[in-house]
Structure 1
Amino acid sequence: MSQVDSSGQPLHGSDLARAALRAAQEQTRSRPRGRPRKKVGARRKRGWSGPGGDERDPQRLGRLAARIVADQGWTERLAGGQVFARWVTLVGDEIAEHTTPVALEDGELTVRAESTAWATQLRLLQRQIIKRISDGVGKDLVRRIKVQGPAAPSWRYGPKHVPGRGPRDTYG
């Protein structure tokens, strides 16, 4: 639909632009002045987030992961995983060389030592190790340490066995 001037001739170029500008100005004047009042509780619908931050904006991956962890209640389990991942830095090279964390349940960390001497040493250092873990990962994550010594070999082989001392009475 082309526009025409007062004499009935079609408008071209700058005349057409001026006519469009006039029509837009008249349309603007016909609107009520001032900002429309917002209803209480009404949400503004828009397709962009505007100048401020919004959850619809692109997010950093770490922030999204932290939100998912908090929503799912995985914070304590992930902190427990940090004890296993950072064991060497938390307890030191020498202790970590001879011990291995096995499980963490209800604030009790189970640690396996490679010898009975190291198991005894770990029991003596229990308070210092708990303090190091609290400082490095989080307070009250580990409240107790259960130390396991090396596993002894089993003399039971097969489905049947005879009660008594077994092969130990034949030595020495």
Structure 2
Amino acid sequence: MSDAEVPETIATYLRLRGLEPSRRGAWRKRQRRRNDDDENQPFTPGRDPGSLGDAIDVLTKAHGWAPQLAREDLVRQWEEVAGADTARHSSPVSLVDGMLTIQCDSTAWAKNLTYMRAHILTQIVTRYPEAGVESVRFVGPDVPTWKWGRRSIPGRGPRDTYG
């Protein structure tokens, strides 16, 4: 089988694989030419292996994972940012458009943490600048709503019920 008889798709595949036809009809691997470049010589500068941390750092920057990893570190290390006592009574819930929402055990904790908002936001921005946190919102616990169900009516209802 000569080069003229081989279809173009197969010839392209063989060329990419580094194969070329021999005179006897068998396919053989092309031999690479040896270069005496410095990069191929042992014990030359630049041949030492890099550290794993450097490789992961390059990988995270190349794929744009740094902001997501910073947000996950913030959630994971919330106790270090807010303090042990505060972290026992609050936890980060969401981060949407630069707004970090913190859910607290009670409305009293939510109100007191609003007074500490500047300090907590400063801690977050200095420790995790790539997280993209611009503001912090503190909310109380989830409470049941009385607006739904069989016995609810639309609107505000009667106003003077406890008179």
Interval of TM-score (by shorter of Structure 1 and Structure 2): 0.5 to 0.7
1:140-159 equivalences in 2 (<5 Å): 141-155=132-146, 156-157=148-149
SS where residue 52 of structure 1 aligns? coil
Normalised by the length of structure 2, the TM-score is: 0.62
Amino acid at match of 1:89: E
Map of 1:116 onto structure 2: 107
Change (3 A) 1:49 1:70: farther
Amino acid at match of 1:100: S
**1: CA distance between counterparts of 2:54 and 2:106?**
43
1:165 Cα deviation (Å)?
Answer: 6.6
Map of 1:38 onto structure 2: none
Gaps of 5+ in 2: 1-36
1:1-172 equivalences in 2 (<5 Å): 44=37, 47=40, 50-54=43-47, 58-138=49-129, 141-155=132-146, 156-157=148-149, 162-163=153-154
**Is the contact made by 2:67 and 2:131 (CA closer than 8 Å) also made in structure 1?**
no
Structure with larger Rg: 1
Superposed CA RMSD in Å reads 3.2
1:58 Cα deviation (Å)?
Answer: 3.6
1:80 Cα deviation (Å)?
Answer: 1.3
Please state which structure has a larger fraction of its residues in strand. 2
Q: String of CA shifts for 1:23-51, please: whole Å, max 9, x gaps.
A: xxxxxxxxxxxxxxxxxxxxx48545652
**2: CA distance between counterparts of 1:133 and 1:48?**
48
**1: CA distance between counterparts of 2:78 and 2:71?**
11
**Is the contact made by 2:71 and 2:131 (CA closer than 8 Å) also made in structure 1?**
no
1:135 Cα deviation (Å)?
Answer: 2.8
Residue correspondences, number: 125
Amino acid at match of 1:151: D
**Is the contact made by 2:67 and 2:130 (CA closer than 8 Å) also made in structure 1?**
no
Sequence identity of aligned pairs in percent?
33
Amino acid at match of 2:103: R
Normalised by the length of structure 1, the TM-score is: 0.59
**Is the contact made by 2:100 and 2:136 (CA closer than 8 Å) also made in structure 1?**
yes
**2: CA distance between counterparts of 1:152 and 1:146?**
17
